Amino acid sequence: MSHLDRRSFLKFLGTLSAYGVIPMSVSACEHKKWPGTENALGFKLNGIEPTDLDQVVLADGFHYDLLIRFNQEIKPNEFFGFNNDFLCFIPDEADTEQAILWVNHENVHTPFVSGRMRKTDPSKTEADLEMYHVGGSIIRLIKKDGKWTFRPGDPINRRLNAHTPIPFSGGTVISGSNIAVGTLANCAGGFTPWGTILTCEENYHDCFGERDPETGLVRSGLYRWEKVYSRPPEHYGWVVEVEPKSGKAQKHVRLGRFAHECATCTRLKDGRVVVYSGDDKDDQCLYKFISSEPDSLVEGTLYVADVDKGRWISLDIESNEKLRERFSDQLEIQINTRLAADLVGGSKLDRPEDIEIDPISGDVFVALTNNKPKKEYFGQILKISEKDGNYESLEFTAETFRTGGVESGFACPDNMAFDISGNLWFTSDMSGSSMHKEPYTKLKNNGLFVVPRFGERAGEVIQIASAPTDAEFTGPTFSSDYKTLFLSVQHPGEMSPDDLSSFTSHWPDGEGKPDPGIILITGPALEYLTHINLPEGE
């Protein structure tokens, strides 16, 4: 991270000029004295130590405001969902004072949402309410006094949830219908070069269960919504593309069906696109999809990674005899992607989570969060370099970028984001039930971290924020000017007893029941880090 070759630097300048940023010289940036002591900037960029405070704790020079929280009315009779995760900031081309924010709602903690104890079956009223609060929200942002705020009642505001009918791409019929009812388990996502967002259905099996591909039997889901509604499990576990202005959506069959964490998209020179996606389950795989048409995800080929051999293996039925023997057609492979990936030798990874493309080097970063059965507790960030920097290539090299651990100061990397200066921001996800226990005790609450690209501390992992009790930060995303970082605060207080006799967290009010919500982080330290034309300070 401390050195940029000339080719990368020229690419970097191109990226920056696209944003209208004029960089200072790289050599000046690389050796820039870190604002760690008394300085003219008014803040010290030392990061924070792990803490167990039930608050959003921030490093010096950062501030936060609450943007929106669970169940807030977004328009008459429409409400903001639960456990917000992936966020996507969509600028308004004509008006820099307004924007749209897409928000994923990953799951529900039933005692907080419907009042249902988790081990009981839902009534129809309870299931309906829980199903309402997953999916996604589209909300209008406007700038007030220089800060982004949410505008209730705006016509753009809408919900998609587990009740919303969504067609399969290309008119595909799955389990008797070309329309699925609902999107759910929406974890991370991505966006396309043509302005749509991608929301990923991850732990869909929690909702209506999952069918065993060998026996055909359906195992019950965590929420047991199948007790109320009969829905084919095959209708979930897809990447869903949403047009943010209209809310129009489709489920993309060609990207495969598994516990999709994210869908990270990049465009080839001829307009076709490549989408990277991980299957967040112990010993599951990393995939890439290459579209066959420009600006469309409807047709194309899915590949699975063999990380040891550095190869992308096609899951096209015509390419492999093992696939032809096991599956009757391509659609059966798309529905049972895990099984197909295993047959062709996809590498079993430590739960691939978010994926981001480095804006300077073009490398593909993959968060591998942990693999507890294999005693891999801390995870790592993997760096993949496609051959000749070509995203269409079927060969790559892979190396560890950073390894989690008590010494590294972080565990279980999950969501990531690069800023305009090429700093890597990421969040940690130690689960609510494992935090404050060995081997995680010393790391205390989950956090937000940055790996600076420039300055004296380039390459170090610095903790910038700490989450409230039981919570994780998710969905980091920047405004177009990189002066605001939007961040989800997910599942505060999820370890509270189901009868709600007490709460382990009281965020954000400091008293009473906790709520998930979105914060926006601003401040001079954020601007210092995200802007390459650093202020003359130290």
Residue whose CB is less far from Ca ion, 72 or 431: 431
**Residue 279 binds ligand FEO (CB under 6 A):** no
**Residue 280 binds ligand FEO (CB under 6 A):** yes
Residue whose CB is less far from ligand FEO, 198 or 526: 198
Task: Work out how close the CB of 493 gets to Ca ion at its nearest, in angstroms, rounded to a whole number.
Answer: 18
Task: Work out how close the CB of 353 gets to ligand FEO at its nearest, in angstroms, rounded to a whole number.
Answer: 5
Residue whose CB is less far from Ca ion, 180 or 187: 187
Say which entry of ligand FEO, Ca ion, none residue 306 contacts (CB below 5 to 8 A, set by partner kind): none
Residue least distant from Ca ion (Cβ)? 429
Q: What's the sign of the alpha-carbon dihedral 264, 486, 85, 426?
A: positive
Query: Which residue from 201, 226, 241, 261 is in contact with ligand FEO, where contact means CB under 6 A?
Result: 261
Residue whose CB is less far from ligand FEO, 300 or 432: 432
Count of residues that interact with ligand FEO, criterion CB under 6 A: 7
Say which entry of Ca ion, ligand FEO, none residue 470 contacts (CB below 5 to 8 A, set by partner kind): none
Residue whose CB is less far from Ca ion, 61 or 493: 493
- Report the candidate in 538, 424, 417, 439 with the shortest Cα–Cα distance to residue 487: 417
Residue whose CB is less far from ligand FEO, 191 or 482: 191
Residue whose CB is less far from ligand FEO, 187 or 526: 187
Residue whose CB is less far from Ca ion, 349 or 417: 417
Return the bridge partners of 304, or none.
287, 313
Q: x/- site string to ligand FEO, residues 91 to 120, per CB under 6 A?
A: ---------------x--------------
Strand order, beta sheet including 517-522:
63-69, 517-522, 485-490, 472-478
Task: Work out how close the CB of 107 gets to ligand FEO at its nearest, in angstroms, rounded to a whole number.
Answer: 8
CA distance 372 to 257: 24
Helix (H) or strand (E) holding 159: strand 158-160
Contact call for residues 40 and 538 (beta carbons, < 8 A) = yes
Q: Are strands 300-306 and 349-350 parallel, antiparallel or unpaired?
A: unpaired
Residue whose CB is less far from Ca ion, 236 or 327: 236
Q: x/- site string to ligand FEO, residues 153 to 192, per CB under 6 A?
A: ----------------------------------x-----
Task: Work out how close the CB of 356 gets to Ca ion at its nearest, in angstroms, rounded to a whole number.
Answer: 5
Residues 6+ apart with CB under 8 A from 315: 256, 301, 302, 303, 304, 323, 333, 337, 340, 341, 344
Say which entry of Ca ion, ligand FEO, none residue 253 contacts (CB below 5 to 8 A, set by partner kind): none
Task: Work out how close the CB of 404 gets to Ca ion at its nearest, in angstroms, rounded to a whole number.
Answer: 13
74-105 as b/e: b if 16+ CB within 10 A: bbeeeebbbbbbbbbbbeeeeeeebbbbbbbb
**Residue 202 binds ligand FEO (CB under 6 A):** yes
Task: Work out how close the CB of 499 gets to Ca ion at its nearest, in angstroms, rounded to a whole number.
Answer: 27
Largest interatomic CA distance in the chain: 69
Residues 6+ apart with CB under 8 A from 147: 65, 484, 520, 522
Give the binding site for Ca ion (CB under 5 A). 187, 353-354, 414, 416-417, 429
231-254 as b/e: b if 16+ CB within 10 A: bbbbbbbbbbbbebeeeebbbbbb
Task: Work out how close the CB of 233 gets to ligand FEO at its nearest, in angstroms, rounded to a whole number.
Answer: 18
CA distance 460 to 409: 10
Contact call for residues 9 and 525 (beta carbons, < 8 A) = no
**Residue 353 binds ligand FEO (CB under 6 A):** yes
Q: Which two tokens stand for residue 48?
A: 């924070």
Say which entry of ligand FEO, Ca ion, none residue 202 contacts (CB below 5 to 8 A, set by partner kind): ligand FEO
Residue whose CB is less far from ligand FEO, 106 or 419: 106
- CA distances in angstroms from 355 to 106, 130, 216, 352, listed in the order given: 18, 29, 32, 8
**Residue 470 binds ligand FEO (CB under 6 A):** no
Three-state SS for 100-134 is EEEEEECCCCHHHHCCCCCCCCCCHHHHHHHHHCC
Say which entry of Ca ion, ligand FEO, none residue 234 contacts (CB below 5 to 8 A, set by partner kind): none
SS3 321: helix
Say which entry of Ca ion, ligand FEO, none residue 106 contacts (CB below 5 to 8 A, set by partner kind): ligand FEO
Residue whose CB is less far from ligand FEO, 23 or 237: 237
CA distance 167 to 189: 19
Residue whose CB is less far from Ca ion, 263 or 304: 263
CA distance 332 to 92: 40
- Report the candidate in 291, 259, 261 with the shortest Cα–Cα distance to residue 356: 261
Contact call for residues 279 and 338 (beta carbons, < 8 A) = yes
- The amino acid at residue 272 is R
**Residue 356 binds ligand FEO (CB under 6 A):** no
**Residue 206 binds ligand FEO (CB under 6 A):** no
Task: Work out how close the CB of 90 gets to Ca ion at its nearest, in angstroms, rounded to a whole number.
Answer: 15
Q: x/- site string to ligand FEO, residues 385 to 424, per CB under 6 A?
A: -----------------------------x----------
Q: What's the sign of the alpha-carbon dihedral 98, 99, 100, 104?
A: negative
Residues that bind ligand FEO (CB under 6 A): 106, 187, 202, 261, 280, 353, 414
